[in-house]
Amino acid sequence: MVIASGWGMPLKPCIALLFVLLAMLVPAAVAADDDSFADGQRWGLEVGFGGGRIADTAYTRRLETFGYSRTSPSHYRMSMAVEKILFPYFSVLLQTNLLDGQEWTRPSGIGPDDRFTWDTWTLDVHARAFLPTSGGRFRGYVQFGIGPAFTPSRLYARTSREPTQTKYKEFKLSYNLMGLAGGEVMMADHVGLFFQGGYAYAPSLRNRLGDRHKSSGGLLILGLSGRFGRRL
């Protein structure tokens, strides 16, 4: 079984726009005579929370055909990342994201309702180009990432006249493509506030009828960052 999330935005135009922003940002960064961001601290940690929109798909419509209804919509997003600034205006990140998490139920007639749940997590490597302001207290950035997507699913259903349920588990491995643009402001020497928005494309679940769920769509994240390490 599968579910989808997204704003229905075409993937190729979104990626093309990110590359255009990247092409504009990098030359400007090289030409700028600004101080290093966050006083040149090389390492960063980011933890953010936010939301996104889930769109119906052939997979979720199939669930409705079989009598299921969504009880837990997937509007919640979470992101955690470790960043290493390799040189001024460019860094790489190892980032994990929660893109999807849904619960669907169906009356069983006897005992507890049948229940189907899943979550989609990713583990991506991102490249980030950024441009700090004079003094290095704020920077704008664009980034692009790719990595595997993991979707464990669980079905709790009756298989006999007895009210007891049987648990079925599945694990799907796919991929994720993500493009983001955002900004970060340092509130203290080692603590900052960041915001970012973008689009993720992550095919996930597939049922036996061939319906595919895509844990994809637009997202907005707000969070805290920590900066440390040797100066550049």
pLDDT at 27 (0 to 100): 47
Looking at domain 11-231, does it have CATH number 3.10.20.30?
Answer: no
Give 221's contacts (C-beta < 8 A, 6+ positions apart): 48, 49, 50, 77, 79, 182, 194, 195, 196, 197
pTM: 0.78
pLDDT at 23 (0 to 100): 53
Query: Which DSSP string corresponds to 55-105?
Result: PP-HHHHHHHHTT-EEEE---EEEEEEEEEEEETTEEEEEEEEEEEEEEEE
Q: Are 99 and 5 in contact (CB under 8 A)?
A: yes
pLDDT at 11 (0 to 100): 52
Residues comprising the chain, all counted: 232
Q: Are 223 and 49 in contact (CB under 8 A)?
A: yes
pLDDT at 17 (0 to 100): 56
10-residue mean pLDDT profile of the chain (232 residues): values are 40 55 48 63 95 85 93 86 93 96 88 90 97 91 97 88 82 96 94 96 92 92 92 55
CA distance 105 to 3: 14
pLDDT at 30 (0 to 100): 41
Please state the domain extents for the chain.
11-231
Handedness of CA 28, 29, 32, 37 (dihedral sign): positive
Instruction: Supply 173's token pair.
Output: 């491995």
Q: Are 213 and 190 in contact (CB under 8 A)?
A: no
CA distance 75 to 228: 32
pLDDT at 193 (0 to 100): 97
